[in-house]
Amino acid sequence: MSSRKFLRLLALGNAKIVRQRGTSHAMFKREKEGRVYHAPVIMAKAELSSVYMKLVMHQLGFTDEEIDVRVLEFSKLPFIL
């Protein structure tokens, strides 16, 4: 999955970009049950590994069940980038 598609997937789970200052990574933030989670995400990459994407989603507070649901929802969306 490309970085752009991964960003759309994160947006489905209410993750928001906090900053990106001319680097290859952007910082994302997600609030869940009163806690705030942060994680860096590689930008402008043609292909991200599934292991990397799952690691980032866990850092943002997603459970395995939430990841499965988000990926299923995402697979049903039309791709307009």
pLDDT attached to residue 16? 93
Q: Work out the number of other CB atoms within 10 angstroms of the CB of residue 30.
A: 19
pLDDT attached to residue 80? 57
pLDDT attached to residue 35? 94
> What tens-digit pLDDT sequence spans the chain (81 residues)?
888 889 988 988 899 999 877 778 889 999 999 999 999 999 888 899 989 999 999 999 999 999 998 888 888 877 655
pLDDT attached to residue 75? 82
What are the distances in angstroms from CA 38 to CA 58, 73, 80?
10, 23, 27
User: Topology of 3-75 in CATH?
Assistant: Metal Transport, Frataxin; Chain A (3.30.920)
Domain positions in the chain are 3-75
**Distance from C-alpha of 30 to C-alpha of 46, rounded to nearest angstrom:** 24
**Six-digit token pair at 4?**
């752009």
CB 62 within 8 A of CB 12: no
